[in-house]
Amino acid sequence: MHKRTLLAGAAALAALTALPLPALAQDKPPLKIVVGFPPGGSADLLARLLAEGLKNDFASVIVENKPGAGGRIALGQVKRAAPDGHTVIVLPSGPMVLFPHVYKKLDYDAVTDFTPISLLAHFQFSVVAGPASGVKSVADMLVKAKAAPGKSTYGTPGSGTLPHFMGVMFGQKAGAELTHVPFQGGGPANTALLGGHIDYKFDVVTETAELHRAGKVRIIGVTGPQRDPQVPEVPTLKEQGVDMVATAWFAMYGPAGLKPEVRDMISSAVAKAVRSPALRNRLIEQGYEPVGSSPAELATAQATDLQRWEGPIKATGVQLD
């Protein structure tokens, strides 16, 4: 009896050691998540929450910040990375659906240079007034802006980013001329806002929710179809008479040429993490609407938004070098 048990155990061990290396638990691949913005911003926060949720599916998960150029530097790094599933990027939708229409020249093709992996979450934006502005509502902001066209300044995480375009759209919808001041990420823009160097800021709600609750800045409006759960007391722009509703998404991409089985393995792990109660609740607390999609669903969302934004961006006349 003991001999048969030992023989069975030896056979099982031999079968296990004969499996391909990736099948062994200790040979899970490492994963590097590149973020095109500085630490502390919304993209960084989402990437780090996701990294925590993925730690059991990979040998290691690290987040690497490569800020600059509205996320284009990070995209260039991922574009050049080996298509082995070890390097991915987490980013807002702007570089993938706005930049192709905004920039005269891009050093990447948003469709052919990357592999869609998963749609992570939907989110909305906020209009934030700094302490030096003395503004308490969108109506106050517009009175001041219209009295001195071009004198009111607003900061964003960078030229050509979603918040930049939100500011352009807001000015057009509200009939006000605002001057854009780009920064390298939401954190530096917050510093300028607190220091009185800019009057307003357009960014995702998460970036300034804590400062708003502490009374250091004031979120005066949100761009979604309904109020944001992080700041439920703040009315939407529609509620305040500005006919504008705008939302966006965060997603994960890999370099082009990622094998379907590798892509699907990462996508499945990401979807499982995003839909887990622990991470889902954390994301909702941060004002995100969790998704966790298939690669095909992300590709469809990207194609839809590329088409959706083309007309409005061309209508604004915004073109960047």
Mean per-residue pLDDT of the chain: 90
pLDDT range class, residue 32, cuts 50, 70, 90: very high
Share of the chain above pLDDT 70, in %: 92
- The pTM of the full predicted model, rounded to 2 decimals, is 0.76
In the predicted structure, residue 148 carries a pLDDT above the cut 80: yes
What phi and psi, each to the nearest 5 degrees, are found at residue 205?
A: -60, -40
Residue 18 contacts by C-beta under 8 Å, 6 or more apart in sequence? none
Beta bridge mates, 33: 63, 88
Give the position of tokens 């969790």.
290
Which of 38-47, 114-123, 312-321 is modeled with the greatest confidence? 114-123
The sign of the dihedral angle between the CA atoms of 14, 17, 23, 28 is positive
Summarize pLDDT for 270-306 with one digit per residue, the tens: 999 999 999 999 998 888 889 999 999 999 999 999 9
Summarize pLDDT for 97-128 with one digit per residue, the tens: 999 999 999 999 999 999 999 999 999 999 99
Give the burial string for 99-131 (b: 16+ CB within 10 Å, else e). Answer: bbbbbeebebebeebbbbbbbbbbbbbbbbbbe
pLDDT for res 26: 54
